[in-house]
């Protein structure tokens, strides 16, 4: 029977575990064993992991794989990917190899502007508020100098602050809409600190503004927070080659492949049900690299999907065309990433992943991550429009099924050989295991 607890966060890790296993598990010793087997034997490393979040009881492992042979702007990369889904790393690697022989990926950063907002309620004359804002704008920036000084030394800082009238949406609702350049930092803490200072200055200066009536002076700050929607923090990735060079076998011509591929992209551009799955495949590649490099994949996901809906209908992030005999497949995507601060300087595997990528700047990481998403989408569409997605996916999933049934090495070898020429389905694998074990 579950029960509530007070002061849980103040308990030691061992006491937390004692309470959890005694409250929720019938076999307390087995539950403890599973939790503890994922602890690092290096006490210092384990303490580091324990302190990443509150109430840590163990470490949760994801496989960290690599996809080699990515040629990006004439530089070769091996890309780290942290993900649990079978076939993602294999698909990315296959796409990388395909385009390695066709000139590789071309990328460029379009813009790197990030956004933060102070949301507030003002009950009064908008023209007065606009006059007050114009008078106070320089003060907002000046009062933030202690926060922005180091960032400005590196070439970043506050780009601009706008006053936005949102009263058509909510009565008396206004915003300070601020844009920032945060260079190699993702910049969440920097932006939020600036915004909170803006809010403080806005509120204080309103009390001193002679143009306001008493009620107008009482600006009510609702919240000050960065936005994870970053449509002006954009990167473009693309691949292109002659249409005839798209064929790598004798069964499908480059022209047939290209036309069917473009049709698949066009469907994702107009059909939201398809677009969601299409874009999910892109995010398989993007999230895996974002996670491996210690960045916030939830923020990236939210911003990307908002961007996919920017025209009022959810649509494909990727596009394809044939022009003058040249096939081009591309994507422009918003990515707010960092290579300094946060986990990038704390997590040992994140540091290793960034070194594997030649210690990229934030702009370089944006390009690498975008390429991983484009490659993943290319591989998925290539499978969908030729052999079908399940053939490759289920072969990669085969090992997961075998591990569910605790197959030994001999069984794995025999069954893997069998499915080189047979269709992999869950029921077919179960049947093969059972037959093999009956023979024994």
What pLDDT does residue 430 have?
Answer: 82
Q: Is the pLDDT of residue 1 over 60?
A: no
pLDDT digits (tens, 9 = 90+) for 228-282: 999 999 999 999 999 999 987 767 899 999 999 999 999 999 999 999 999 999 9
Which residue, chain included where needed, has tokens 């000046």?
142
**Catalytic residue of the set 18, 50, 85, 255:** 85
First to last CA, the chain: 44
**Catalytic residue of the set 181, 205, 287, 296:** 296
Across 316-339, average pLDDT? 98
Give yes or no: 393 in active site: yes
User: How far is 349 from 352, CA to CA, in rounded Å?
Assistant: 5
Give yes or no: 215 in active site: no
Across 198-208, average pLDDT? 98
Across 136-142, average pLDDT? 98
Give yes or no: 242 in active site: no
Give yes or no: 85 in active site: yes
SS3 of 59, please? coil
Across 50-74, average pLDDT? 97
pLDDT digits (tens, 9 = 90+) for 334-392: 999 999 988 888 999 999 999 999 999 999 999 999 999 999 999 999 999 987 555 55
Burial of 322 (0-12, 13-18, 19+ CB in 10 A): middle
Which one, of 269, 247, 249, lies nearest residue 258 by Cα?
247
**Catalytic residue of the set 166, 280, 321, 351:** 280
CA 289 to chain centre: 8
State what percent of residues in the chain have pLDDT above 70: 97
- Confidence tier at 75 by pLDDT (50, 70, 90): very high
Across 38-54, average pLDDT? 96
Question: Nearest 5°: phi and psi at 85?
Answer: -80, 125
Q: Please, what is the average pLDDT of the chain?
A: 94
Across 407-417, average pLDDT? 82
To 5 degrees, how large is the angle CA 173–CA 174–CA 179?
145
Q: Read off the pTM.
A: 0.89
User: How far is 165 from 168, CA to CA, in rounded Å?
Assistant: 8
Which residue, chain included where needed, has tokens 């008078």?
135
Across 123-146, average pLDDT? 98
What pLDDT does residue 422 have?
Answer: 77
């Amino acid at each position: 029977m579950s029960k509530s607890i007070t002061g849980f966060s103040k308990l030691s890790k061992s006491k937390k575990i004692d309470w959890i296993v005694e409250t929720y598990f019938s076999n307390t010793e087995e539950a403890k064993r599973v939790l503890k087997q994922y602890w690092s034997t290096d006490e210092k490393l384990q303490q580091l992991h324990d302190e990443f979040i509150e109430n840590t009881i163990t470490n949760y492992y994801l496989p960290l794989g690599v996809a080699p042979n990515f040629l990006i702007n004439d530089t070769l990369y091996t890309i780290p990917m942290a993900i649990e889904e079978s076939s993602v790393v294999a698909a990315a690697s296959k796409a990388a190899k395909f385009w390695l022989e066709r000139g590789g990926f071309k990328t460029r950063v379009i813009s790197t502007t990030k956004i933060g907002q102070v949301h507030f309620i003002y009950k009064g004359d908008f023209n007065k508020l606009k006059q007050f804002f114009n008078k106070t704008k320089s003060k907002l920036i000046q009062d933030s100098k202690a926060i922005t000084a180091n960032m400005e030394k590196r070439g970043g800082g506050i780009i601009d602050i706008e006053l936005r009238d949102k009263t058509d949406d909510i009565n008396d609702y206004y915003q300070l809409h601020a844009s920032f350049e945060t260079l190699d930092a993702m910049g969440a803490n920097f932006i939020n600190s600036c915004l909170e200072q803006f809010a403080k200055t806005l509120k204080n200066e309103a009390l001193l503004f002679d143009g306001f009536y008493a009620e107008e002076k009482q600006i009510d700050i609702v919240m000050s927070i960065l936005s994870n929607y970053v449509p002006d923090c954009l990167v473009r990735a693309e691949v292109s080659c002659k249409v005839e060079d798209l064929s790598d076998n004798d069964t499908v011509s480059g022209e047939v492949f290209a036309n069917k591929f473009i049709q698949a992209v066009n469907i994702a551009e107009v059909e939201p049900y398809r677009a969601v799955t299409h874009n999910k495949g892109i995010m398989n590649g993007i999230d895996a690299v974002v996670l491996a490099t210690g960045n916030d994949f939830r923020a990236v996901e939210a911003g990307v999907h908002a961007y996919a809906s920017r025209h009022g209908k959810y649509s494909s992030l990727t596009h394809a065309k044939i022009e003058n005999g040249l096939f081009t497949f591309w994507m422009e995507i918003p990515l707010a990433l960092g290579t300094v601060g946060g986990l990038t300087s704390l997590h040992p595997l994140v540091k290793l992943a960034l070194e594997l990528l030649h210690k990229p700047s934030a702009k370089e990481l944006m390009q690498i991550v975008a390429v991983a998403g484009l490659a993943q989408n290319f591989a998925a569409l290539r499978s969908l429009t030729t052999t079908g997605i399940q053939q490759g996916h289920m072969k990669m999933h085969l090992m997961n099924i075998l591990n569910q049934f605790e197959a030994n090495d001999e069984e794995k070898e025999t069954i893997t050989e069998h499915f080189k020429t047979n269709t992999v389905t869950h029921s077919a694998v179960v049947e093969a295991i059972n037959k093999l074990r009956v023979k024994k």
